[in-house]
A and B are shown apart, each in its own frame.
Chain A
């Protein structure tokens, strides 16, 4: 009987994981199948480097350079905000806060991660953007700056939570060794604790990067949506993700516009795939030490 149940259990878990893998490959297969034919018409080089994105014109142009830039700038901005805030909170929670405060602070920061992205988007659109426009006297509050702030707040809990885990697993004995050599708390944190937690911190930043570059709803609502090369952080942009979400409804299945949106998703897929690969390698290195 036991061996029969054992087999059944094995079978169920096997099928479950097989299903997930099939699903993943199904997604990869379909985006490549739908997206690759575009390159029979547009060269990969032109696709990536041309600044002309006019997919619905009579003579359509499919250059995603401005969309790439848009994604890149909002992601960079988000990380510039989220890394100091996230890492700062992580250090505070694990090294400075009293045990009581720690018990409260960590779940509160992690709560940020549970807010749906559309709610972030609404907040950015309805409150942050008008506020920024008024304060800074801008044409529009929907721009790189406001998207970066909102995206940054979404990435903070990822960086804070994972970095905190990494920092608090640094053994107490290393801190003691540092103190016993005459180091202050600050010196101990910057010279011993953070370097020892380095791989976990880098991993959290890479994961945050993946979260930011793949996020769609927030940038769709807050980035302004104009496919241009931004001249300042207060210009609107049109990241890749929001381009796909905004334009998919206008396409005809199988036409060039349709194919080009899939081609963008290939680019997104490759970027996140490489990021994940690097993250895995960073963690693998840590666990094998």
Chain B
């Protein structure tokens, strides 16, 4: 039996007067990979950024409706945004390691919480790097700059950095669009491996990627959630004509 992880209820979002998300009702299931696909500008990245309240950083944002993490409204006045962001981690389109050592990049989230011992942090750093399949490549140079890593390694470092907070959900915003095919394949495999420990939501432009790794897929178009379902169904027998048109490459 699959459990619900995140649920949106009539979620609407505006940037100024621009209505970006329209009545989105979406359920994300626990320990599954959900892919969000759709043409550029359809609102999939904006929706992803609703889940860890990154849109708060844009002044003109207005949100209506609810985003429930289990049963907790993350936009409730009592919700602590920093705490939500430790529970829902995020990896961005371009690898964005801090100009710090490899070790300090991964330790960052724990260090700012200020409640972990040095020993605890070093254990979490090691575990996170192992979980992100980076440990063997960096264990002898943890204190070198993160910029000494290749693009693919940097992106896995960003995944390790997010995992160090022990999040329930990992949001991936087109995580492989800046990477070469080999690094992409490695990160896809990694995602499939990680779903035992964390719920994954991935925005991707790459339909084939969504098909390869996701359990569920959401298709978005012009700010609406057009179709959502198990990936094997959505990809083989889409219910909505717009989904079918997008999947067959009629637009995109």
CB-CB under 8 A for A182 and B92, given A176-B54, A192-B98: no
Chain B residues whose C-beta falls within 8 Å of the C-beta of A192 in the assembled complex: 98
A184, B82: Cβ atoms under 8 Å?
yes
With contact pairs A176-B54, A180-B54, A181-B86 given, residues A191 and B112 touching in the complex (Cβ less than 8 Å): yes
B110, closest chain A residue (CB) = A181
| Tally of contacts, chain A with chain B, CB under 8 A | 62
Q: Digit string of A125-162 for contact with B (CB within 8 Å is 1, else 0)?
A: 00000000000000000000000000000000000000
**A196: which B residues are within 8 A, CB to CB?**
98-99
Using A176-B54, A176-B57, A177-B158 as known contacts, say yes or no to A182 and B112 having CB atoms under 8 A apart.
yes
Note all chain B residues with C-beta closer than 8 A to A281: none
State which residues 210-241 of A face B: CB under 8 Å.
Answer: none
- Candidates A171, A176, A177, A183; contact of B82 at CB < 8 Å: A183
What residues of B have a CB within 8 angstroms of the CB of A178 in the complex?
Answer: 98, 108
Q: For residue A166, give the distance in angstroms from its CB to the closest CB of chain B.
A: 13
Residue of A nearest to B85 (CB): A182
Instruction: Decide if A182 touches B90 in the complex (CB within 8 Å).
Output: no
Min CB–CB distance B199 → chain A (angstroms): 16
- In the complex, which residues 76-107 of chain B have their Cβ closer than 8 Å to any Cβ of chain A? 82-83, 85-86, 89-90, 92, 94, 96-100
B153 near A: Cβ within 8 Å?
A: no
Q: Is A173 an interface residue (CB 8 A)?
A: yes
Q: How many residues of B contact A (CB 8 A)?
A: 26
A173 touching B94, Cβ below 8 Å: yes
Q: What is the CA–CA distance of A177 and B98 in the complex, to the nearest angstrom?
A: 8
Most buried by B among A173, A184, A196: A173
- A181 touching B54 in the complex, CB below 8 Å, given contacts A174-B98, A176-B92: no
Q: A176-B57, A191-B108 are in contact. Are A181 and B165 (CB under 8 A)?
A: yes
Given contacts A180-B52, A181-B161, A184-B82, is CB(A173)–CB(B57) below 8 Å?
no
| Nearest B residue (CB) for A197 | B99
Given A191-B112, A196-B98, check contact A179 B54 (CB 8 Å). Answer: yes
Point out the residue from A173, A187, A195 that lies within 8 Å of B92, measured CB to CB.
Answer: A173
Please give, as numbers and ranges, the residues of chain B lying within 8 Å of A183 by CB-CB distance.
Answer: 82, 108-109, 112
Chain A residues within an 8 Å CB radius of B86: 181-182
A289 CB to closest chain B CB, in angstroms? 8
Contact B99 A181 (CB under 8 A): no
Contacts of A171 in B (CB 8 A): 96
A176 touches B96 (CB 8 A): yes
Considering only CB atoms, which chain A residue lies closest to B94 in the complex? A173
B85 close to A195 (CB less than 8 A): no
- CB neighbours (8 Å) of A176 from chain B are 54, 57, 92, 96
B113 at the interface (CB under 8 A from A): yes
- Complex Cα gap A177–B146 (Å): 14
* A195→B112 contact, CB < 8 A: no
Least distance between A139 CB and chain B CB atoms (Å): 49
Take A176-B54, A187-B112, A191-B108 as given contacts and tell me if A182 and B82 are in contact as well, using a CB distance cutoff of 8 Å: yes
The chain A residue with its CB closest to the CB of B114 is A187
Q: Check A180–B85 contact: CB distance below 8 A.
A: yes
Q: Are A177 and B96 in contact (CB under 8 A)?
A: yes
For A171, the closest partner residue in chain B by CB is B96
Q: A178-B98, A180-B92 are in contact. List 9 more A-B contacts (CB 8 A).
A: A173-B92, A173-B96, A177-B97, A177-B98, A179-B54, A181-B108, A183-B82, A184-B82, A196-B99
Residues of A within 8 A of B (CB): 171, 173-174, 176-184, 187, 191-192, 195-196, 289
Taking Cβ atoms with an 8 Å cutoff, the residues of B that contact A are 52, 54, 57, 82-83, 85-86, 89-90, 92, 94, 96-100, 108-109, 111-113, 147, 158, 161-162, 165
The 16 listed contacts between A and B (C-beta, < 8 Å) are A174-B96, A176-B96, A177-B92, A177-B98, A179-B54, A179-B57, A180-B54, A180-B90, A182-B86, A183-B109, A184-B82, A187-B112, A191-B108, A191-B111, A192-B98, A196-B98
Instruction: List 5 tightest A-B contacts by C-beta distance, closest first.
Output: A182-B86, A181-B109, A173-B96, A180-B90, A182-B85
